[in-house]
Amino acid sequence: MGALKKTSIYIDEELDEALAAKAAEEGVTKAEFIRRNLEVVVARPKRPRISVGVFEAGRPVWAKDLDHELAVYLDIRDREERREPE
């Protein structure tokens, strides 16, 4: 680690308390805990951006069609459940 530079940020009280608790669990200062975790985040590889569709869903079902689609599905399922075993 090189020379340290002071940076100030504003965080809410709950986050500050959670950071202090986590730092205490690890036996380090809150500043050290924050530094360690920031290093992990900064070193994390960049996630690839998806530029094309991953799958083809077919015809989209819009909200106005949903009631009809659900009624058809439930009717088919109901008929199958009532069918007597062969």
Which pLDDT tens digit goes with each residue over 72-81? 777 877 777 7
| Domain presence at residue 86 | no
Which pLDDT tens digit goes with each residue over 25-56? 999 999 999 999 999 999 988 887 776 665 55
Give the dihedral of Cα atoms 68, 71, 76, 79; nearest 10 deg: -150
- Structural domain that includes position 29: 13-43
Do 19 and 33 meet the contact criterion of CB atoms below 8 Å apart? yes
- In this prediction, residue 54 carries a pLDDT of 56
| Domain presence at residue 56 | no
Number of domains in the chain: 1
Alpha helices in the chain (DSSP H): 13-26, 30-43, 63-82
| Domain presence at residue 67 | no
| Domain presence at residue 6 | no
